[in-house]
Amino acid sequence: MRDSGFTIIELMVASAIVSIIMVFTMQTFTVNNRTYVKIDSLVDAQQSLRAVASLLERDLRHAGMMVPEAAALCGIDETNAPDSVYISDYTAVNPDGAIGYFDGSKIQGLTTVNLGTTTLTLDSLVIEPAGSLDPAYDTDGNSVKDSDFRVDGGVIITDLQDPSRGSVCGVVKNVNLATPSIQVEILSDNMTAYGGGDYELIAVPALEYRINAAKLYRNNLLLAQGIEDMQFAYFLDSNGNKALDVGELRGTQGNPYEAKLSDARDLRAVRINIVARTRFEDDNFTQGFMQATENRDDSAATQDGFRRRVHTAVVRMRNVGDRVEGL
């Protein structure tokens, strides 16, 4: 009986063919995997953008709920960095049985508030009036709610007697139940006193939205990564005609927004622009660049491999002034 088999040449040819097939298979796998990673990163950025925008828009619609209109919102307008915004904290308010709005917590002994860290002595840490106090947060960890202000939450300060002075905003660094008082880092600007008249500064708890290193935070809690920029424009209907006139849209090119010069009672709508980017750069994509919206300066921007998506929306202030048609 004769034994049969493959020759060395046949084995070498077969091995070469298998090697070629494996090389092409691995190349195809690598390309497909890279494509998947790119698409997955882009989808992830888009999903984060939708979720963040939905939450921010919801919070903006609640701005001014049950608090003075002048304390509904306070923003920090930047041209070379992301904007920050402070929205009155509706989760700190219990509207049950209330008629009208609550005045906020009155600040004792101050007519001016300056940039930097300061301690504000308040008449109460709860903004509901005496007899209907309903604290929202437990600040000392004893499982008993004791304050409407919380550490790392925002705060908006305005003058109840003269809201035209505008507002200032910042972050609560400490809550002292005994005094009662809050330690606040004022970040927006100084609120200077006028030469005369009555002053009644109040503090209202707020929700802070800010971006740091492409990460978006809400009251110092990380919401999403890959959020590169956030810019706001504010429609302040100063003449009350319910129409957008020249100079009434602040936070745009040539018309900056300053909270201390803006009467939030005139606020009718806010335009938000959020820019999300992919987690990783694409080596084969070199046309990426910063998406500048409103008054953001992009003169120093350079091309990179990030893919970006921009969400733009206009939110009407339903708790401040009248609804505006046609914006």
Residues 75-98 pLDDT 10s: 999 999 999 999 999 999 988 877
> What are the structure tokens assigned to 195, written together?
């030469």
Residue 274 has pLDDT above 80, yes or no: yes
- Report yes or no: 271 and 248 within 8 Å, Cβ to Cβ: no
d(CA 203, CA 213): 29
- Calculate the alpha carbon distances from 326 to 63, 242, 314, 319 in Å: 21, 9, 11, 18
What's the confidence (pLDDT) of residue 204?
97
Residue 4 has pLDDT above 50, yes or no: yes
User: Using alpha carbons only, what angle is made at residue 92 by residues 90 and 191, rounded to the nearest 5 degrees?
Assistant: 80
Which residues on neighbouring strands pair with residue 269, listed in sequence order? Answer: 235, 316
Which residues on neighbouring strands pair with residue 232, listed in sequence order? Answer: 272
d(CA 134, CA 196): 35
Which range, 122-131, 190-199, 203-212, 271-280, is most confident? Answer: 203-212
Record the pTM: 0.86
Q: What is the dihedral of CA 55, 59, 60, 66, to 10 degrees?
A: 170
What's the confidence (pLDDT) of residue 33?
59
Q: pLDDT band at residue 193, thresholds of 50, 70 and 90?
A: low
Give the pLDDT mean for 282-302: 89
Which residues on neighbouring strands pair with residue 87, listed in sequence order? Answer: 73, 207
What's the confidence (pLDDT) of residue 276?
94
Residue 251 has pLDDT above 80, yes or no: yes
Query: Could you count the other beta carbons within 10 Å of the beta carbon of residue 112?
Result: 12
Q: pLDDT band at residue 217, thresholds of 50, 70 and 90?
A: very high
What's the confidence (pLDDT) of residue 195?
44
Q: Which of 260, 306, 153 is nearest to 250 (CA)?
A: 260
d(CA 68, CA 87): 12
- Calculate the alpha carbon distances from 214 to 161, 226, 251, 283, 322 in Å: 39, 5, 21, 20, 35
- Calculate the alpha carbon distances from 187 to 75, 165, 242 in Å: 10, 17, 31
Helix, coil or strand: residue 217: strand
d(CA 258, CA 27): 56
What's the confidence (pLDDT) of residue 197?
55
Which range, 68-77, 91-100, 125-134, 192-201, is most confident? Answer: 68-77
Which range, 9-18, 203-212, 284-293, 297-306, is most confident? Answer: 203-212
d(CA 235, CA 266): 8
Q: Which residue has the higher pLDDT, 93 or 40?
A: 93
Sign, CA dihedral 250-64-200-149, equals negative
pLDDT in tens, 128-181: 887 778 899 999 999 999 999 999 999 999 998 888 889 999 999 999 999 999
Q: Which of 63, 107, 104, 109 is nearest to 85 (CA)?
A: 63
Residue 327 has pLDDT above 70, yes or no: no
